[in-house]
Amino acid sequence: MDNEKAMKPFFLELMHNFTTIFTLSALTISFASIAAVRFLPEIQNIPPLFTSGNTFISIIQIAVSSFILAFFCVLLINDRFISKMRFWLRLLLLLLSALLIFSVSGIIFNWFPVNNPQIWLRFIVCTIICYILSICLTLLRFKIEGKKYNKLLANYKARKWS
Average pLDDT in the 99-103 region?
Answer: 88
Share of the chain above pLDDT 70, in %: 86
Distance of alpha carbon 52 from alpha carbon 47, whole angstroms: 6
Angle between helices 117-160 and 87-108 (to 10 degrees): 140
Distance of alpha carbon 38 from alpha carbon 47, whole angstroms: 14
Number of domains present in the structure of the chain: 1
Angle between helices 55-77 and 87-108 (to 10 degrees): 160
Range with the lowest mean pLDDT among 3-7, 102-106, 151-155?
Answer: 3-7
Q: Is the pTM of this model over 0.75?
A: no
Domain span holding position 91 = 3-160
Cα 68 from chain centre: 11
Distance of alpha carbon 70 from alpha carbon 6, whole angstroms: 20
Cα 10 from chain centre: 18
- In terms of average pLDDT, the best of 87-91, 110-114, 155-159 is 155-159
Contact 58, 49 (CB under 8 A): yes
Backbone angles phi, psi at 96, to 5 degrees: -65, -40
Average pLDDT in the 14-31 region?
Answer: 81
pLDDT of residue 45: 62
Contact 121, 103 (CB under 8 A): no
